[in-house]
């Protein structure tokens, strides 16, 4: 009885392996992964800051694609300015808050960077 049960278990295991091999996908059946389509933006339609950091802002058709995450003096004020592409012209637009922030930071003097950053926080 034990031999019959063992033989039956082996037969079921062999059949399971054979059936699994027949139903597994072959290389022809695999679907290639789908990647998102990236739309290329022409430089003429792009308008942005030409620099990544600081107070010397300018706008142009070729803004940097990647900027460092390192904070530099004046980065706080950049939130109050933006670039506008109006009529095909890329131009800098500043708000009154940008001007006051910039003048405040320019008054932060000293040779110690920590002192300048501490002063900038109050602007």
How many other C-beta atoms can be found within 10 angstroms of the C-beta atom of residue 78? 19
Q: What is the pLDDT of residue 87?
A: 84
Q: Is residue 32 part of a domain?
A: no
Q: Is residue 34 part of a domain?
A: no
Q: Is residue 30 part of a domain?
A: no
> What number is the average pLDDT over the span 54-69?
92
| DSSP-based helix, strand, coil % in the chain, nearest 5 | 45, 15, 40
Q: Is residue 28 part of a domain?
A: no
pTM: 0.57
Look up the domain containing 50 and give its range: 44-121
Q: Is residue 31 part of a domain?
A: no
* Residues 51, 22 contacting (CB under 8 angstroms): no
Q: Is residue 79 part of a domain?
A: yes
Tens of pLDDT along 4-60? 444 444 535 443 444 445 454 454 444 444 433 333 334 456 899 999 999 999 999
Q: Is residue 4 part of a domain?
A: no
Q: How many domains does the chain have?
A: 1
């Amino acid at each position: 009885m034990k031999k019959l049960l063992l033989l039956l278990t082996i037969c079921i295991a062999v059949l399971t392996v054979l059936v699994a091999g027949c139903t597994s996908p072959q290389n022809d059946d695999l679907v290639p992964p789908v990647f998102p389509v990236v739309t290329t933006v022409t430089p003429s339609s792009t308008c942005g800051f030409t620099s990544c950091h600081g107070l010397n802002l300018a706008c142009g058709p070729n803004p940097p694609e990647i900027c460092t995450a390192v904070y530099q003096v004046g980065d706080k004020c950049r939130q109050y300015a933006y670039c506008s592409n109006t009529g095909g012209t890329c131009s800098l637009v500043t708000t009154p808050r940008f001007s006051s922030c910039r003048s405040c930071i320019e008054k932060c003097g000293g040779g110690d960077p920590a002192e300048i950053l501490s002063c900038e926080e109050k602007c």
